[in-house]
Amino acid sequence: MSLGSWLLALDWGIRLAALWWIPSRTSPAAARSWLLLVGFVPLLGLPLYLLFGHPWLSRERVRRQRLASQVIREEQAPLQALRWTPQGQDADTEMVPLLETLGDFMATHGNAVELLDDYAGSLRRLLDDIDGARERVHLLYYLMFDDTVGEAVTDALCRAAARGVTCRLLLDAVGAKRGLRRYRKRLRAAGVEVHDMLPGGLRWRRSGRMDLRNHRKIAVIDNSAAYVGSQNLADPEFVPGHPNRELVARVQGPVVAHLEAVFASDWYIETGDRLDVFPTSPLQHADSAVQLLPSGPAYPFANARDTVCALAHLARRKLVLVTPYFVPDDATLSALRIAALSGVDVQLILSASNNQRWTAWAQESYYRELLDAGVKIALYRPHFLHAKHLSVDDEMALIGSINLDIRSFALNAEIGLLCYDREVVARMREIEADYLADAEQVTTERWETRPAWRRSREGLARLADSFM
């Protein structure tokens, strides 16, 4: 047989094997994208699928996550006095058991939630809390840059360690590559424990698929305060031309211990070392009910996606969603469409500028379908809107690191905080109104005037949604 015949046989052998293999191991949407790639370029598509086609984690990581979930549930069992149970038949009666089943944490009362909308102000509060720490500082972040913010955080951790404070820093191996390269030795020399998460290189087989990332942003200071939201440890313009606008929640009360439990889980998954987590008492001066939602490929369900869809289905009057990246799966798209068609005022707020060009093209392909269903789409212009949050009626607000895209739903470890508090929702409504004041609403008439080449570009980008 000639070389050409062998190559032809190999080419078709790969296509047929992919047709049999891929649909049984990935979702239908992802299988569609991968089969298209393998069908067009088999010799390229096959190795790419083997590397990135299935969101697998090592068995040891899955085992450690399962054990961490078990410990979290067992440790909460004696603390029923902290549990918050909704009264009546509102939407929160459905969300509380769902989140506890998905993410292990019960809802608690006696919390304080402060929404921080100012980038520099949020950073100052964090640095002040680190400087005031007496026992421990635990930081878990996706991104830390070698810039003025990275320097400020490093200096604050070194000062805390010099006072005898136990300081631990967990950073994503890819997102925080620059910060790890510049600050790791200095921090360790000062007594700060530093570890990278989901490392690549020769260690990737012990972690998981190479593009799986820990996208969480969490800071815990003593038992007194914690931070969760969208802001990384970097200057607002760490992507040139895209100054970020963020939203962070500074919390106090029992939820602080829950955020520390998430840190301790990730620390255990990365190092094998178990940390003690101590309960935090309810506050006397505040009584917000909140519930934590960790998500990621180590969990048996798509925690983030299922929560977003449930909130959309439970909305009765108003649903506002804010995200920098909007590449939804079929379930999320359907939930938003059904909510709008049911008469809910659904407002999607996106950033007019975007640092991920392919993602921006893909998300534009969804606009017409959403507009036809009655979903409002606003494009915020002054900054790159990197905040990630949503609000439901006047009752619930979700804030954290979760984007409304397939990567956040299936590939990244994420964190969300669901607040069952009308005052928190009212404050979030003020922030949403501020976005809308500087945003342009997309109309069907305007959208239909875009040139044909843009529509083709959007369609091609959408075909690759499962690669994002």
pLDDT tens, residue by residue, 47-63: 776 666 667 778 889 99
- Give me the pLDDT at residue 393, please: 96
Q: If we measure between CA atoms, which residue out of 448, 446, 398 comes closest to residue 230?
A: 398
Distance CA 416, CA 401 (A): 6
Contacts of residue 268, defined as CB under 8 A and 6 or more positions apart, other chains included, come to 64, 67, 68, 274, 275
Amino acid at position 362, single letter: A
Helix or strand or coil: residue 132?
coil
Q: Residue with structure tokens 């009360």?
A: 253
Above 90 in pLDDT, residue 105? yes
| Cα gap 25→55, rounded to integer Å | 10
Which runs of consecutive H residues, i.e. helices, occur in 200-314? 255-271, 303-314
Question: What number is the average pLDDT over the span 281-296?
Answer: 94
Burial of residue 433, with CB atoms counted within 10 A of its CB: 0-12 exposed, 13-18 middle, 19 or more buried? exposed
- How far is residue 439's CA from residue 378's CA, in Å, rounded to a whole number? 6
Contact 413, 298 (CB under 8 A): yes
Q: Which residue has the higher pLDDT, 411 or 253?
A: 253
Instruction: Check if the beta carbon of residue 285 is closer than 8 Å to that of residue 92.
Output: no
Comparing 68-72, 246-250, 281-285, 356-360, which segment has the lowest mean pLDDT?
A: 356-360
Whether the predicted pLDDT of 362 surpasses 70: yes
How confident is residue 368, by pLDDT bands cut at 50, 70 and 90? very high
Q: What is the pLDDT of residue 199?
A: 86
Mean pLDDT of all residues in the chain?
90
Whether the per-residue pLDDT at 201 is higher than 60: the answer is no
Report residue 270's pLDDT band, with 50, 70 and 90 as the boundaries.
very high
What is the model's pLDDT at position 16? Answer: 72
The average pLDDT across 319-343 equals 96
Residue 262 in tokens = 């998430």
b/e per residue, 177-195, with b = 16+ CB within 10 A?
Answer: bbbbebbbeebeebebbbb
Q: pLDDT band at 343, cuts 50/70/90?
A: very high
Rounded Cα distance, 85 and 95, in Å: 11
Question: Alpha-carbon distance 331 to 309, whole Å?
Answer: 7
Which residue type does 330 have? D
What average pLDDT does the segment 262-273 reach?
A: 96
What local confidence, expressed as pLDDT, does residue 370 receive? 97
Tell me how far CA of residue 273 lies from CA of 153, 267, 276, in angstroms: 24, 7, 10
Average pLDDT of 243-271? 97
Instruction: Give residue 324's identity as a one-letter amino acid code.
Output: P
- Neighbouring CB atoms inside 10 A of 256's CB total 25
Q: Which CATH class is domain 303-467?
A: alpha beta
Q: Which of 2-11, 431-440, 448-457 comes out lowest in average pLDDT?
A: 2-11
Domain boundaries of the chain, sorted by first residue: 3-52, 59-291, 303-467
Locus of tokens 């470890």: 413
pLDDT band at 360 (very low <50, low <70, confident <90, very high): confident
d(CA 150, CA 261): 25
Specify the range with the lowest mean pLDDT, choosing from 28-37, 279-288, 432-441.
Answer: 28-37
Please compute the mean of the pLDDT values over residues 211-224 and round it to a whole number: 94
Write the pLDDT tens digit of every residue in 137-186: 999 999 999 999 999 999 999 999 999 999 999 999 999 999 999 999 99
The answer on pLDDT for 202 being more than 60 is: no
Residue-wise pLDDT tens digits, 19-39: 766 666 666 667 777 677 777
Mean pLDDT, residues 403-416: 93
Task: Tell me the average pLDDT across 343-361.
Answer: 92
Q: What is the percent of the chain with per-residue pLDDT over 70, rounded to a whole number?
A: 88
How far CA 239 is from CA of 154, 165, 354, in Å, comes to 21, 33, 10
Whether the predicted pLDDT of 355 surpasses 80: yes
Q: Which tops the pLDDT comparison, 366 or 87?
A: 366
pLDDT at 464 over 80: no
pLDDT (mean) for 197-209: 67
Q: How confident is the model at residue 18 (pLDDT cuts 50, 70, 90)?
A: low
When comparing pLDDT for 15 and 181, which is higher?
Answer: 181
CATH no. of 59-291: 3.30.870.10
Q: Residue 257 has what pLDDT? A: 97
